Amino acid sequence: MGQYGITQGAGVVEHQARKKRGLAAIESPPEQHIRMKGIHMKLITALIGVSASAAIALAGGSTTVVDFEDGLTHGWEGPQGFGGATMIDNTYGVGGGAGFRTQFNDFGIAFTNSTNANFTGDYTQFDEVTISVDLRIDQIGFEGLGITRPFMLELRSHDLGDDGYPWASAFFLFDWVGADSFTGYQTFSATIDTSASDLPVGWGGYGSFDPNTFESILPDGVNFSDILANVDEIAFSTLLPDFFFTNDDYDMTIDNVTITTIPVPGALAVLSIGGLVGTRRRR
Ligand SMILES: [Ca+2]
């Protein structure tokens, strides 16, 4: 129940989302990214005690943060066109810094990234992947009317969807946001155990439909692991599959988009040996 008495999900009709989402089809070739060398270097750096980053040293992993303070989007895109625009706002980010802000009228909005290899590629090369984002909402719906919309993380693979689908994806609903979110930034985070072959609790699949219930599901023969191995686009989106939303004004800003990857245990062990050798050589 929102502060204006609007119930969660007002204006929502099921099973029409695919039509809308179909319009948003973006052709983008999948890319495989080999990042082990970079991780190797960072890990060894951490093990020999040179690293200044506590996060890297503790986790043995790699962290990428896009905070927009350099005026660059680092591959992040938002809605552009007739309904409005998305741009870096130099004072709307966390702490009055820069943030990536969209002001747009549509059935929903999505921030996407298909070109930054730190966010896309083969997630299964890691043991664990954590993705987080700070979100500020200034408006959803008419001014002053606090309606809620879903805010989800979506991992897309454009080659794996059935015919008629722009992509196959695994999506995680962070929360329904909007009704009482006008007080500043909230942080949303999801940690992915990349050893899971089936969709974990809290995750949904998209790219085909159940012939009985017509609900979105992963395509036949595609499991969670297949999506993780072929992430060619990552999105933070309000367009939750199987829901239809009214056309509304959105004013949303994201900041501190972060991905942390933890190497698989085997790789960690091997790299640890490398790190120890490196330590001896330094003495
Ligand atoms: Ca920032």
pLDDT digits over 28-60, tens only?
Answer: 333 333 333 333 334 333 333 333 333 443 446
List the domains of the chain with CATH numbers. 61-263 (2.60.120.260)
Ligand 1 center to residue 62 CA distance, Å? 20
Q: How far, in Å, from the CA of 180 to the mean position of ligand 1?
A: 22
pLDDT above 70 for 231: yes
> At 181, is the pLDDT very low, low, confident or very high (cuts 50, 70, 90)?
low
Look at residue 56 in the predicted model and tell me its pLDDT. Answer: 42
pLDDT at site 147: 87
In this model, does residue 145 exceed pLDDT 60?
A: yes
Tens digit of each residue's pLDDT (9 = 90 or more) over 80-125:
999 999 999 999 999 999 999 999 999 999 999 999 999 999 999 9
Within 13 A of 167's CA, how many CA atoms are on the CB side? Answer: 27
- Give the distance (Å) from ligand 1 centre to CA of residue 93: 5
Determine the distance separating the centroid of ligand 1 and the alpha carbon of 253, expressed in angstroms.
10
pLDDT at 233: 98
- pLDDT the model gives residue 141: 87
